[in-house]
Every structure is written in C-alpha cells, then in structure tokens.
Structure 1
Amino acid sequence: MFKKESKLKRFDFILLFTTIILCVYGFIVINSATLSKTFGSEPFLKTQITAFALGMVAVFILLFIDYDIYGGFYLPIYGITVALLIYVLINPVRASEWGDVRSWMSIGPIVFQPSELAKFGVIISVSKFIDIHKDSINNPAVLIKILVFAFFPIALIMMQPDLGTSLVFIFFIAVMLFVAGIDRKYIIAVLVIAFVLLIIGLMILYNIMQDYVPKKDYRVDRIVTFFYPELDPEDTGYHVIQSKIAIGSGMIYGRGLFKGVQNQLNYLPTKETDFIFAVIGEELGLIGGLLLLCLYGILFYRLIKIARNASNLFGSLIVTGIAAMQFFHIFENVGMTMGLLPVTGIPLPFISYGGTFMLVNTVSIGLALSVGLKRAKVSMNDF
C-alpha cells in the first residue's frame, strides 16, 4: 500500500483492525435487534454494510492525502458546514418516517443529517483556527474569537433542535481547547459556572416536580425521567425502564444471541439505534458489554498515541477532536441505557444502526490514520 517502509511502520494496523472488529460486532447485534421487525434484518444490514464499505473506501483514499491540505481550505470547509446547517433549518425533510423535525435533509433519494457531516467540518476548521492562534490562545480577545467561531455551528444545531448532538460538539471543542494549552484560570472559571448552573438546574427541577405534567415538554420529560422514570412508566419513562430490565436480565453471560425477551418481543424501543447497548446487555450479558468496552479502550489508546505523536498541533487537534467525539457518544449512550445519564438520543459508535453515522465514524478513523502517517516520531513502543 505504501512505497516507503517508514510509511508502513507508521500505519496503525491495530486501529484499523479494531475498527473493523467493532463494525462486525455491530452487524451481529443489529441483526438480532432487527430480526423481529416487519421486513426482518436484511434492509438494516444492507444499509449498514453499504455505509461501512463506503467508509472503508474513504479511509483508503484519505491515506494518500496529506491532512495539512485541509488546513489550507479550513474557511471554505467551515462555510459549507454552516451553509448545510442553515439550509436544513430552512428546508428540512418533513416526512412521517422522521416526523416534523429540522435535522434531516435530502439530496435525491439520499436522506442524511447535516449535523453528522458537520462534525468533520467543525473539527477540521476549529483545529486549524486554534492552530493559527496557538501562540495567543490565552489572550481573552483571541479566545473569545475562537469560541465564537467554534460555537456558531453549535447554535444552529441547537435551533433544529438537537441538544444531544450539540453536547457532543461542546465536549470535543472543550477537549481540543484543553489540549491546545488553554490557561488553568479559564478551566476553573468554566467549572465554577458549571457548578452554579447545576445548582440552579436542581432548584428549577425541584420547582417543576411540584406540579409536573408528563408530555408537556419532551426536554423536561427527559430530565425528569432520568431522576424518576417510574412517574410515567408507560410513556416518558418507558425507554429507561425497559432498558434497565433488559440489561439486568442478561446478568453475566446473557440470554444468548437472538434469545433476548425484551429485544425479540419488542418491549425495548429504538433497540437498533439509541438502546442497542441494552440488546448487548440482555443477549450477551456482562461479558459482551465488557468485550465491547475493551475494544473501545484499544481504539482510544491508539487515537491518543496518534494525537501525541502528530507532526503538528493541527493534526493533534484533529485526532483529539475525533477521540473526544467518540468518547462522549460511548459514555452518554452506555450511561443512558443503564439509567445513569439522561436520555439524549445519542447512538453508539460503530454499533448503532445508521448509514450516515457509520460513514462518519469510519471516515473519522481514516482521518486519524492519515494523521498517523505523518507522525513526528516513530518508535517500536508505539506498536
């Protein structure tokens, strides 16, 4: 694949193979999660495998492109990202399959979420913007300029509204700023503000609970459901309750693949997307869940290695953004299925069903591998 031996040594085969194993794991679980659907699992698997194949082709192409080229086009990339997010607000897909939402757009027969593609645009453009201002990043005026640049696309996503995806963006941008060397005083200030907001939020929740009416506001329902799912077990609390039952019933070894009661009898909602980890917990048990988390652990370890050894800050921030994006998805998805975090509708990377989501995840690995090929240093300890 590569002409020079040094290039071959720098290629992270472990990261690539781990990604492929995760995707295959996902195919198996999606097959079980959709087996009881009206048309069976074939349509879901076809979409997922096609997205994976396209993603692998994109990975192969990205390996031959110097990632520094993207930095030269960071403003056009940012502009296209913002344009897509504005377009979907003005002219969204409005069909019964997706409901009256402003998160989807269509190009011919292809329907996708611009917010998913925006992850690449924001990671690349913000990484370059930070890189340009790296020597003065702690200057208040410069930092404000970076934050405005980074958070404008997030504001557009919030207007869709899509709080879950917005939180993903906020998290990986915060991590990127931390890695870029933001001053400790700003971090402390953010933590203090977060603590104050948490106290205010708990006080507001207490007041809401005094005369709470389910199904009045779905965002409030999600927060209340997190604390008290039993208040509305047949509607707003149904997802979490059924998910916890599924995971708990799997115990150590699980009920067996294709043998989950909650899964196969369709008690578990959105089981092929948001709550697919509950399918793993019920049918593959603690062992299956730990295996998945171990694979994710290897993935993060390799991404961190690449970020640390990148030839410049721009490359390091790209991989940092990718790793942080993946981490937040995994942490939130697993947490919400176990009732430890509020339900935000965030899917599980490489495992949850979704063509656009699968494509974004595989291409992100391709970007990371591309950065890895241009590492500043290579040692046998990296493999």
Structure 2
Amino acid sequence: MELTKVYRAIDKPFLVSLLAILLMGIIALTSANATISGDPLSYVKRQLLAIALGFFILLLMVRVDYSQLSKYDRIVYILTLVLLVAVLVFGKEVRGTQGWIGVGSFRLQPAEIAKILIIVGFASFLEKRQGSLETLKDLVPCFLYVLVPFGLILLQPDVGTGLVVLAVMLGMMFVAGANPKLLIKIILAGIGLVGIALFLHFQFGMWLPLKDYQLLRLTVFLNPYNDGQGGRGVGWNTIQSLVAIGSGGFFGKGLFHGTQVQYSFLPERHTDFIYAVIGEEMGFLGASFLIALYGVLIYRAVQIAYSSKDLYGTLLVIGIASMWLFHVFENIGMSIGMMPVTGIPLPFVSYGGSAMLANFMGVALVLSVNLKGNRAMF
C-alpha cells in the first residue's frame, strides 16, 4: 500500500493529539525528575525507549487486519488468564501489589497487556450476542466472561486496573446494544453493595479481600487529613497534589520551578501524580490544554469506532476509548482530590513501560479500524 494513500486516510487529529500528549508527557517527566540523585534523565531515557518500542509495535500491528483477531477469541482469552495467573505465581511485589514479572532489570506488568487482550476477546464475545442483550439472563454470560480476569487482577491486588476492566466492559456492552436501563440499575446496585461492604468492614470488621491501608486509600480522598496521622499517612499524596495544583495558578510557576515538585514534597510525581506536576508548573492553562488534547484523542477514537464497517471494529475501538477515558478521569480526579487514589497512570504521560506499550497496542487497533474503514490497509 502506498504511504501517500495511508497518509490521506489516517485520522490526523487523532494522531496529532497523540503526539502532543506524548510531548507534554516527556516535558513533565523531565521536570519531575530534574532534582533526583544520579542521572536526572534516567526515567526520561527509559520512557523514550518505551515510546520507540511502542511505535515499532504500532507499525507491526496496524498492518494486521483487525477483523482476523475475532477468529482467535478463545486463544486470546486463555492467554489473558495465563498471564494473570503467571504473575500471581511468579510475580514480584512492588508497593504492595504482586503485579510484575521480571528478569534482571526488565519488568513487565501483565495486567496492562491483559486489558488490551480482554478488549480483543470481549469484542468478539459481544458481537456474537448482538441483539440478545436485553434481559439480566442475557447479560450474565458477559459479566462472567469479565469476572474471571477481574478476580485475578484483584488478587494481586490491583484495584485500579480492576476498575478499568469494569469500565471497559460497561462501555462495550452499552455500544453492543445492552439494555441501558438495566445497565444503570446494575451499576447503581454495584455502587450500593460496595458502600455497604465498606461500612460493614469499618464498623463491624467484616472481611474484605483488601488490606486496611488499601481500603483507606480508596476512601481517604473524602478527607485526606482523616488518615489516622493528621494527613501524614495515606492522605499525604492527595494533600501535596492539591497544594501543587492550587499553587500553580493560571500560568504556572514555570518548568523546573515548582516548589512541590522540585523539593520532592509531591510523592510519585513521575507516575501517579504527574498531572500535579503539570498543574503546578504549567498552571491551569497547561493542565486544561492536556485535558483538551485527551478530549480530541478520545472523541476522534469514538468517531473512528462509529465509522467502522462492522460491529467488531466498533467494539474494539470503543473498548480502547473507554479504557483511556476512565484512566484520564480517575487519574486527574485523584490528583484534584475528587476520586480515590488507585495508582492508575495517566495515558501516554505517566512513567511506565508496560502501560505505554499497552496504550500503543490500543492506538494500533484504533488506526487499524480507521484505515480499513477508509480502505487504506497496508
């Protein structure tokens, strides 16, 4: 296929917004680690390597006709479970989560790759049930399909990624034609059950499959000073993030001049709370611009989804868009004290090789649907 034809067919706003987000991420990461001991560019170099590998994977995957993936849905599902079981057996624990498989200095987070595999398999699962998603009985198999990998992810325990999987499932089911009223009732019932379970745990000690400090991280955002240590415990991250963003003002303090960032008051500033780096040093203007870029990226993905020639392509892209939307909503939400601290990275911005590769796999699927929809496959 001629490159000129591909250039004409590819969704340029989608691609431009992606490149702009990557650039803002590298700038923020450079500033966030400017004062660390040793090589201050070590994280930046590794992030650039992950981006380069991501583009390589993108070029390989975008050549594949996405519709062929539906033929291997069972293999994809089995591979997903194998990855998630393997990390429970052979994985290494990092910050209380057994979510990494490593050899030497190389580490992979299988749950990140599993999110993409779940989307690929679940899209085929839903396509086969088109027109048969009206009753609770119809929806039960869909919930069971996702429940197994969701449960394995919770066992790590990785609540954040588990929530992403649920958000992806609901987004895909809605577009696949599931009864919207029934979905809303199920969501409200789920939220109610979680609330009751948390109440019973904290009031009467009912057992939950999470440690107390993990549960506290999910609830302390309501009042970060009420963490048992006057804001110096698990509420510290939220407090420092709020101080950083609030002190940034409209234009920000300037790159390498954020006091919360450069004096290391802000924890996890290169991963979970990198949005606070942007908020302090680039201000409301820079932080809002990043949100606008995400808006363009996700909006164009949805447009690509609905221009797909088949339901499978639509569901693939909706799954990816739902994943990005939830990541952005949750990560920015926890940075401004509106959502629980779950450790979900900001797509294409937070430091992390596994997340970057998974996101580029998502980009490849979106562009594959885009190019086939415009009859411009390689």
Normalised TM-score (structure 1): 0.90
1:17 correspondence with 2:12 = no
Alignment deviations for residues 309-339 of structure 1 (CA, whole Å, 9 cap, x no partner): 1111111011001001001111011111111
Rounded to whole Å, the distance in 2 between the matches of 1:236 and 1:83 is 33
> Are the counterparts in 1 of residues 99 and 109 from structure 2 also a CA contact under 8 Å?
yes
Instruction: Report 1:106-255 matches (<5 A).
Output: 106-107=102-103, 109-138=105-134, 140-194=136-190, 196-197=192-193, 200=196, 203-204=199-200, 207=203, 217-231=212-226, 232=229, 233-255=231-253
Amino acid at match of 1:332: E
> Are the counterparts in 1 of residues 245 and 336 from structure 2 also a CA contact under 8 Å?
yes
State the partner residue of 2:358: 360
State the partner residue of 2:286: 288
Amino acid at match of 2:159: L
Amino acid at match of 1:83: V
- Of 71-80 and 187-196, more deviation after overlay is shown by 187-196
> Are the counterparts in 1 of residues 225 and 235 from structure 2 also a CA contact under 8 Å?
yes
Which ranges of structure 1 fall in alignment gaps of 5 or more residues? 210-215, 379-383
Amino acid at match of 1:218: Y
Rounded to whole Å, the distance in 1 between the matches of 2:236 and 2:195 is 27
Instruction: Report 1:77-92 matches (<5 A).
Output: 77-92=76-91
Amino acid at match of 2:212: D
Amino acid at match of 2:65: D
Identity of aligned residues (%): 37
Cα displacement (A) at 1:10:
2.7
Rounded to whole Å, the distance in 1 between the matches of 2:194 and 2:353 is 36
SS at match of 1:363: helix
Rounded to whole Å, the distance in 1 between the matches of 2:18 and 2:96 is 34
State the partner residue of 2:302: 304
1:345 correspondence with 2:340 = no
State the partner residue of 2:254: 256
Rounded to whole Å, the distance in 1 between the matches of 2:39 and 2:32 is 10
Cα displacement (A) at 1:190:
1.0
Rounded to whole Å, the distance in 2 between the matches of 1:107 and 1:141 is 44
Measured at CA, do residues 87 and 204 of structure 1 come closer, stay the same or move farther in structure 2, by a change above 3 Å? same
Tell me the matched-pair count. Answer: 368
Which ranges of structure 2 fall in alignment gaps of 5 or more residues? 206-210
CA RMSD of aligned residues (A): 2.2
Measured at CA, do residues 52 and 376 of structure 1 come closer, stay the same or move farther in structure 2, by a change above 3 Å? closer
Measured at CA, do residues 200 and 70 of structure 1 come closer, stay the same or move farther in structure 2, by a change above 3 Å? same
Rounded to whole Å, the distance in 2 between the matches of 1:60 and 1:377 is 17
- Of 36-45 and 193-202, more deviation after overlay is shown by 193-202
State the partner residue of 1:2: 2
1:37 correspondence with 2:36 = yes
Cα displacement (A) at 1:21:
1.4
Amino acid at match of 1:121: L
Alignment deviations for residues 231-288 of structure 1 (CA, whole Å, 9 cap, x no partner): 3311221111111111111010111100000100000000000000111111110011
Normalised TM-score (structure 2): 0.91
